[in-house]
Each structure stands twice: as C-alpha cells, then as structure tokens.
Amino acid sequence: MKQTIPLIDLESQYQRIKSKVDAAVLRVLAHGTYIMGPEIQVLEKQLSEFTGAKHAISCANGTDALILGLMAKSVKPGDAVLVPSFTFAATAEVVAFLGATPVFVDVLPDTFNMDPESLKKGILSAKKQGLHPVGIITVDLFGQAADYASIGDVAKNSHLWIMADCAQSFGATYQEKSVCGCADCAMATTSFFPAKPLGCYGDGGAVFTNDDALAALMKSYRVHGQGSDKYDNERIGLNARLDTIQAAILIEKLAIFPDEIKARNAVAERYSKGLTGSVQIPFVRKDCLSVWAQYTLLLTPNVNRGQLMETLKAKGIPSVVYYPKPLHQQKGYKHFPCANDGHSLPVSERLSTNVLSLPMSAYVTKEQVDFIVDSVKECVDTQVRK
C-alpha cells in the first residue's frame, strides 16, 4: 500500500514529546485557569528570553498579533502601510480592517522578500494618491528574514516605522540576531498556527517589542482595552488572548525548537544538494539563518507545474503552491494601490506561476528526502527532454 509523506509531519513531533505535552495539558485541566493562566506568563518569559525582545505578548493568533501592533501605532483611515504582494492575505487584511490603505510592493526574485527599490516606489505612489505613509510591514517569507538593513534605510529616510511579520520565520536570525529581537523594528509578530515552525495545536500568536509604551498598549488592547481595573476599559480593544492550554503546549514545543531548527536546516541542505542543476533551489543570504517554514523551488518556464504536482502526488509526495495569486491581483485587494503607477508587480506575478513547495519539517527522513529529490528530478528531466 502506498504511503503518503506528510507535507508537515506534526505526528512524529507529537510522538517525540507526547508524555510531556499530555502532562502539560492535564496540569491546565487540573488548575482550571483556562484563560490567562500561569502558563501564559511562563511562555511569555521564555519567548522573551529566546528572542532577546524585552516584551513578548502572547495573543489569540498571528492576525491578531498584527492588528494589536497596528492599533498600538494608531493606524487609521488616510494612513498608508506598505506591504509585499507575494504573501498571505493577513498581512494586508489587517491594514484594511483598520480603515487604512495597504500599498502593495514587489519582492526580490531570489529571496522572495520585500524589494527595497519597489518599497521606495510604493511610498511615492501612496503620496501621489493623497495618502499618508506611516509604516511598513515586512514578511519573512518561507522562513528567511527580509533585508532589514536596506529596508530600514528606506524607512528612516521616509520617517516610517517597521513591523516585521515573522509568522514564517520565528527562530530565524538576521545578522546573527533573532528576527523577533526588534533591533531594526518597532515590533515583530508571529503566528503559532500548527503548520508554522513553532506551532501549537490550535491558533496562537505573539507580538515582540522593546518599547515599553507599545507593550503596555498592546496588553490593554489584547483584553478589551482594559486599564488597571478590568471593568474600567480605557480604550476600545479586542478579545485577543492566547488560551492557557495552547501556552502549555508551546512551552513543551519551545524546549525542543532549537534542535528542530538544526534538523530543518539539515533537511533543506539535503534537498538543495540533490536538486541543484534540475531546478532553482532556494537562495539564503549569507547573513541569514532560515527556519525553513517552506522549502520552495522555482521552476523554469519549460516545466509544467501542474503535471509535476500530479506526478509527485501519484508517488505519495504532496506539494503546495504558496502563493498562486499575488494579493494585488485578488478580488478583495485589486482596488488598492501598487508600487508601480500601473497595477503590475512583475516579480510577484512571475513567482506565482513558478514556485512549488515540498514537504518540510524537522522529521523528514533522509530516505524521504532522497525519494522526493529523485522523483522531482525524474519528472523535470522527462519534461525538459520533450
């Protein structure tokens, strides 16, 4: 009987820490403080220590993390926030949710992260339309940090703040510092969605900052805008708290996370060694350590992606396209402005037709990698020879 390789192997991870996770959940059930229980404070302290950020504020999910950050920065209608188009909808969604305008920026063809030159054009485009550019949300796509030095220079010249969307890069480093350490950013956010490098068994997220005032605001917004008295709400907020059970699970997962990062990089290295010459393998900058949220190939135009995916599926190998349509081309977002005066971001558009992600986790075995590599090469070579 054919065995299917999981795209993300959460079952093997659970079996590794089953006794500890089960015991952690039972402890929460025993003390009964399911909301803002003691595990929340423990997790936040550990996240702060892991990232080097002064404040780690847990929340209900990665989207709420972004919203909390924007609310703390008082983003409002008339404001423009620069975001990459080649990413998941949440990055732009939160800007529009608050009545501000997302302005879409193109990405680099090698790292797939925000292009600083396109960012400059996006700022000019926003101003031409009478908007007030206030900030930038970068996205560390597929596990690698954006070029924060170059983006930071653009931000400083235009007096903009940066919020780093680290939903796919938690645990990664940029210039030997944690991507969530906030050295070049007002704040950073992450998601603990199960498929993320560090995920819980439901939804979860966190915001990181070194700014005491921003941290205080986000902690208030997280709990309905409450002040010192829970029934004296100082501002309009959200119900954006992380459940205690999810915090308990994350504590156990964080304990093995450094080892998993090493394993993910070993899997990626084996993929790259085997696939070099057949497809364009992922590029990682020398000053970055990726956590490989996805291992994403770039196929040449003479390779039929759909046919390749079907061939791999028949062999029990899943593959996924992240992302088949850039945000600026999606129905809900196409009316928002782009960096170019026209409505075209050529790199994002090209990538959407050529990218393909293969199974990635700390638990992909050497035998599985070799089987996947051989299968990809065989199919690609067959197509190219035709």
Domain harbouring 277, CATH code: 3.90.1150.10
| pTM listed for this prediction | 0.96
Given strand 177-178, what is the order of strands in its sheet? 177-178, 173-174, 288-289
Predicted local confidence at residue 181, as pLDDT: 84
In a domain, 126, yes or no: yes
Please calculate the CA angle 383-299-279 and round it to the nearest 5 degrees: 80
How many Cβ atoms sit within 10 Å of the Cβ of residue 13?
A: 18
Residue with the bigger pLDDT between 382 and 90: it is 90
- Both 229 and 276 in one domain: the answer is no
Return the structure tokens found at 55: 């404040």
Peptide bond into 174 cis (omega under 30): no
Predicted local confidence at residue 1, as pLDDT: 45
pLDDT digit string, tens, across residues 42-55: 999 999 999 999 99
Predicted local confidence at residue 182, as pLDDT: 66
Helix (H, G, I), strand (E, B) or coil at 128: helix
Predicted local confidence at residue 386, as pLDDT: 66
- Both 19 and 151 in one domain: the answer is yes
Predicted local confidence at residue 4, as pLDDT: 87
Return the structure tokens found at 244: 């205690």
In a domain, 3, yes or no: no
pLDDT higher than 90, residue 116: yes
- Both 164 and 186 in one domain: the answer is yes
Last residue of a domain, one of 213, 230, 251: 251
pLDDT digit string, tens, across residues 268-310: 999 999 999 999 999 999 999 999 999 999 999 889 999 999 9
93 phi/psi in degrees, rounded to 5: -55, -45
pLDDT higher than 70, residue 183: no
pLDDT higher than 50, residue 267: yes
- Both 238 and 98 in one domain: the answer is yes
* Beta partners for residue 229, in sequence order: none
In a domain, 61, yes or no: yes
User: Residue 221 is inside which H or E element, if any?
Assistant: helix 212-222
- Both 129 and 14 in one domain: the answer is yes
- Both 233 and 269 in one domain: the answer is no
pLDDT digit string, tens, across residues 64-84: 999 999 999 999 999 999 999
Residues 45 and 57: beta-carbon distance below 8 Å: no
State the pairing for strand pair 205-209/55-59: antiparallel
pLDDT higher than 80, residue 384: no
- Both 199 and 310 in one domain: the answer is no
pLDDT exceeding 70 applies to what percent of the chain?
98
Last residue of a domain, one of 221, 251, 281: 251
- Both 267 and 182 in one domain: the answer is no
pLDDT higher than 80, residue 246: yes
pLDDT higher than 90, residue 372: yes
In a domain, 1, yes or no: no
The structural domain count of the chain equals 2
In a domain, 5, yes or no: no
Task: Say which DSSP state 286 is in.
Answer: T
In a domain, 186, yes or no: yes
- Both 231 and 270 in one domain: the answer is no
Residues 105 and 114: beta-carbon distance below 8 Å: yes
Please calculate the CA angle 121-294-324 and round it to the nearest 5 degrees: 55
- Both 216 and 101 in one domain: the answer is yes
- Both 243 and 349 in one domain: the answer is no
pLDDT digit string, tens, across residues 336-368: 999 987 789 999 999 999 999 999 999 999 999
Nearest CA among 306, 343, 356, 294 for reference residue 140: 294
Return the structure tokens found at 349: 């558009």
Rg (CA), the chain: 21
In a domain, 4, yes or no: no
- Both 72 and 206 in one domain: the answer is yes
Last residue of a domain, one of 219, 251, 283: 251
CATH number at residue 227: 3.40.640.10
Predicted local confidence at residue 2, as pLDDT: 63
User: What's the whole-number average pLDDT of the chain?
Assistant: 96
In a domain, 307, yes or no: yes
Q: Please state the rounded mean pLDDT for residues 184-191.
A: 93
Predicted local confidence at residue 341, as pLDDT: 73
Domain enclosing residue 377, as ranges: 258-385
